[in-house]
Amino acid sequence: MKKDKTGYRNVSENPCNMCMPLGGILALKGIEGSMVLLHGSQGCATYMRRTISEHYNEPIDVASTSLNEKGTVFGGEDNFKKGLDNIRLVYQPEIIGVLTTCLAETIGEDIERMAKEYIKDREIEGFPIISAPTPGYAGTQAEGYFSTLRKIIMGLAKETKKNKKINVIVPHISTADLREIKRILASMDIEAILLPDYSDTLDAPYTKTYERIVSGGTKVQDIASMSGSQATIEMAEAIDDVISPGAFLKQEYGVPLYRIPLPVGLKNTDIFINTLKQITGSVIPLDLSAERGRLLDGMIDSHKHNFQGIAAIFGEPEHVLSAVTLCMENGIFPQVIATGSKTHRLEDLLYESLAESEQDYHIMNDTDFSHIREKCKNSGVNIAIGHSEGKYLTEKEGIPLVRYGFPIHDRIGGQRLLSVGYTGSLSFLDRITNTLLDHKYINYRSTMLQKYYDTRS
Amino acid sequence: MQGLAIQERKESIFTKGEQRNTLTCDTDSISGSVSQRACVYCGARVVLNPITDAIHLVHGPIGCASYTWDIRGSLSSGEELYRNSFSTDLREQDIIFGGEKKLTQAIDDLVTKYHPPLVFVYSTCIVGVIGDDLEAICKAASLKHQIEIIPIESSGFIGNKSAGYRAACEGLLRLIKNQPNPIPPKEKNTLNLLGDFNLAAETWIIKSYLERVGIKLNVTLTGDSSYEQIKKTPIASLNIVQCAGSMIYLAEKLKEEYDIPYLRISFIGIEDTIASLRKIAAALGDEQIIKNIEKLIRKEQEKTWPVIDYYKHKLQGKKAAVYVGGGFKAISLIKQFRELGIEVVIVGTQTGSQAEYQTIGDLVQQGTVIFDDTNPAELENFIIDKGADLLVGGVKDRPLAYKLGTAFIDHNHDRKHALCGFVGAENFAKEVYSTVCSPVWKAIRTGGMTE
Ligand code: SF4
Ligand code: SF4
Q: How does pLDDT run across B28-49, given as a tens digit for each residue?
A: 888 888 888 888 999 999 999 9
Q: Are B161 and B38 in contact (CB under 8 A)?
A: yes
User: Bridge-partner residues for B193, per DSSP?
Assistant: B220, B240
Which of B124, B126, B127 has most ligand 2 atoms within 8 Å of its beta carbon, as the pocket-test mutant?
A: B124
Question: Does residue A106 have its Cβ closer than 6 Å to ligand 1?
Answer: no
Asked if residue A196 has a cis previous peptide bond (ω within 30° of 0), the answer is yes
Say how far apart CA B253 and CA B256 lie, in whole Å: 5
Kindly tell me the sign of the dihedral angle through the C-alpha atoms of A103, A106, A107, A109: positive
Q: Which residue in chain A has the smallest CA separation from B61?
A: A137
Pick from A64, A89, A102 the residue to mutate for testing the B interface (most B CBs within 10 Å). Answer: A102
Q: Do A210 and B63 lie within an 8 Å CB cutoff?
A: no
Among A392, A271, A379, which Cα is nearest to A334's? A379
Say how far apart CA B412 and CA B351 lie, in whole Å: 14
Chain A positions touching B58 (Cβ under 8 A) are none
* pLDDT higher than 70, residue B3: no
- Could you report the per-residue pLDDT of A252-293, keeping only the tens digit for each? 999 999 999 999 999 999 999 999 999 999 999 999 999 999
* pLDDT higher than 80, residue A89: yes
pLDDT at position A5: 58
- Could you report the per-residue pLDDT of B149-185, keeping only the tens digit for each? 999 999 877 777 788 999 999 999 999 999 988 889 9
From the list B2, B38, B61, which residue is nearest A43 (CB)? B38
* pLDDT higher than 70, residue A6: no
**B10 reaches A (C-beta below 8 A):** no
Chain B positions touching A54 (Cβ under 8 A) are 395
pLDDT at position B37: 85
**A59 reaches B (C-beta below 8 A):** yes
Question: How many CA atoms lie within 13 Å of B154's alpha carbon, on the beta-carbon side?
Answer: 36
- What is the DSSP code string of A10-50? S-EESBS---HHHHHHHHHHTBTTEEEEEES-HHHHHHHHH
Q: How confident is the model at residue B257 (pLDDT cuts 50, 70, 90)?
A: very high
Of A68-82, A392-406, B251-265, least confident by mean pLDDT is: A68-82
pTM across the whole model: 0.95
Which of A37, A44, A51 has most ligand 2 atoms within 8 Å of its beta carbon, as the pocket-test mutant?
A: A44
Distances in Å between the Cα of B392 and the Cα atoms of A188, B146, B334, B406, B432 are 48, 46, 11, 10, 10
pLDDT at position B1: 45
**Averaged pLDDT, B381-403:** 93
* Residue B371 main-chain phi, psi, to 5 deg: -145, 160
| Ligand 1 atom with the shortest distance to the CA of B122 | 3
* pLDDT higher than 90, residue B24: no
Helix (H) or strand (E) holding B305: helix B287-315
Query: For strand A34-39 and strand A62-64, is the pairing parallel, antiparallel, or unpaired?
Result: parallel
pLDDT at position B26: 77
**A382 reaches B (C-beta below 8 A):** no
Say how far apart CA B62 and CA B301 lie, in whole Å: 48
pLDDT at position B77: 95
* Terminal CA-CA length for chain A: 38
Exposed, middle or buried by CB within 10 Å (0-12, 13-18, 19+), for A240? Answer: middle
pLDDT at position B272: 92
**A64 reaches B (C-beta below 8 A):** yes
Say how far apart CA A403 and CA B372 lie, in whole Å: 38
Name which residue leads in pLDDT, A348 or A457.
A348
Among A248, A399, A206, A238, which Cα is nearest to B440's? A206
Domains in chain B (CATH in brackets) are: 7-27+316-415 (3.40.50.1980), 40-177 (3.40.50.1980), 190-295 (3.40.50.1980)
**Averaged pLDDT, A320-327:** 96
pLDDT at position A345: 86
Q: Are A97 and A31 in contact (CB under 8 A)?
A: yes
From the list B6, B60, B110, which residue is nearest A11 (CB)? B110
**Averaged pLDDT, B284-312:** 96
Binding-face residues of A in 101-160 toward B, CB within 8 A: 101-103, 106-107, 135-138, 140
**Least distant ligand from the CA of A141:** 2
From the list B66, B67, B125, which residue is nearest A102 (CB)? B125
Q: Are B16 and B367 in contact (CB under 8 A)?
A: yes
ipTM: 0.93
Q: Is B181 left (phi over 0), alpha (psi -120 to 50) or beta?
A: beta
CA distance B440 to chain A (A): 12
Q: Are A372 and A399 in contact (CB under 8 A)?
A: no
Strands (E), B276-342: 319-324
* Max Cα distance, chain A (Å): 86
Say how far apart CA B349 and CA B357 lie, in whole Å: 9
Ligand 1 centroid to B90 CA: how many Å? 13
Ligand 1 centroid to A103 CA: how many Å? 8
The answer for residues whose C-beta is within 8 angstroms of residue A444's C-beta and 6 or more apart is none
pLDDT at position A155: 97
Ligand 1 centroid to B123 CA: how many Å? 9
Among A41, A53, A96, A202, which Cα is nearest to B37's? A41
Q: Where are the alpha helices (DSSP H) in B124-243?
A: 125-130, 134-145, 161-177, 202-212, 227-231
- Could you report the per-residue pLDDT of B179-223, keeping only the tens digit for each? 988 889 999 999 999 999 999 999 999 999 999 999 999 999 999
**Averaged pLDDT, B5-21:** 79
Say how far apart CA B398 and CA A150 lie, in whole Å: 32
CA distance A94 to chain B (A): 16
Among B174, B130, B129, which Cα is nearest to B151's? B174
Q: Are B13 and B323 in contact (CB under 8 A)?
A: no
From the list B32, B65, B125, which residue is nearest A85 (CB)? B32
Which of A18, A20, A44 has most ligand 1 atoms within 8 Å of its beta carbon, as the pocket-test mutant?
A: A44
Strands (E), B89-158: 118-123, 148-152
* pLDDT higher than 60, residue B121: yes
Q: Is B224 left (phi over 0), alpha (psi -120 to 50) or beta?
A: left
Q: Do B3 and A90 lie within an 8 Å CB cutoff?
A: yes
Exposed, middle or buried by CB within 10 Å (0-12, 13-18, 19+), for B123? Answer: buried
Say how far apart CA A149 and CA A172 lie, in whole Å: 11
- Could you report the per-residue pLDDT of A117-174, keeping only the tens digit for each? 999 999 999 999 999 999 999 999 999 999 999 999 999 999 999 999 999 999 999 9
Say how far apart CA A402 and CA A423 lie, in whole Å: 18
Question: Does residue A326 have its Cβ closer than 6 Å to ligand 2?
Answer: no
Q: Do A43 and B5 lie within an 8 Å CB cutoff?
A: no
Distances in Å between the Cα of A330 and the Cα atoms of A297, A310, A381, B38 are 12, 11, 16, 45
- 3-class DSSP state for residue B320? strand
pLDDT at position A344: 80
Q: Which residue in chain B has the smallest CA separation from A15?
A: B66
Question: Cβ atoms within 10 A of the Cβ of A349, count?
Answer: 20
How far is C-alpha B405 from the geometric centre of its chain's CA atoms?
A: 27
* Max Cα distance, chain B (Å): 83
Question: Does residue A339 have its Cβ closer than 6 Å to ligand 1?
Answer: no
- 3-class DSSP state for residue B267? coil
Asked if residue A15 has a cis previous peptide bond (ω within 30° of 0), the answer is no
DSSP structural state of residue B187: P
Q: Do B67 and A51 lie within an 8 Å CB cutoff?
A: yes
Binding-face residues of A in 161-220 toward B, CB within 8 A: 204, 206, 210, 212
**B355 reaches A (C-beta below 8 A):** no
- 3-class DSSP state for residue A377? coil
Question: Does residue A41 have its Cβ closer than 6 Å to ligand 2?
Answer: no
- Could you report the per-residue pLDDT of B346-379, keeping only the tens digit for each? 999 988 888 889 999 999 899 999 998 889 999 9
pLDDT at position A102: 94
Binding-face residues of B in 410-449 toward A, CB within 8 A: 444
**Averaged pLDDT, A336-345:** 91
